[in-house]
Amino acid sequence: MIAVDTNILVYAHREEMPLYDAAEACVRRLAEASAAWAIAWPCVHEFLAVVTNPRIFRTPSPMAVATAQVEAWIGSPSLILIGETKDHWMFLKETIAAAKVAGGVVQDARIAALCQAHGVTTLYSVDRDFSRFRSLRTINPLAA
Cβ count within 10 A of residue 32: 10
Q: Which of 136, 128, 126 is nearest to 98 (CA)?
A: 136
Residues whose CB falls within 8 Å of the CB of residue 95, separated by 6 or more in sequence, listed in order: 101, 109, 112, 113, 116, 133, 135
Across 32-39, average pLDDT: 97
Whether domain 2-139 has CATH 3.30.1330.200: the reply is no
What is the DSSP code (8-state) at residue 132? G
Q: Is the pLDDT of residue 129 over 80?
A: yes
The helix, strand and coil proportions of the chain, stated in percent and rounded to the nearest 5, come to 50, 10, 35
Say what the pTM is. 0.94
Q: Is the pLDDT of residue 28 over 90?
A: yes
Instruction: Quickly state the pLDDT bin for 144 (edges 50, 70, 90).
Output: low
Domain range list for the chain: 2-139
Q: How far apart are CA 77 and CA 63, in angstroms?
A: 24
Give per-residue pLDDT as tens, 84-99.
999 999 999 999 999 9
Q: Residue 40 forms beta bridges with which residues?
A: 82
Give per-residue pLDDT as tens, 51-83.
999 999 999 999 999 999 999 999 999 999 999
pLDDT of residue 58: 95
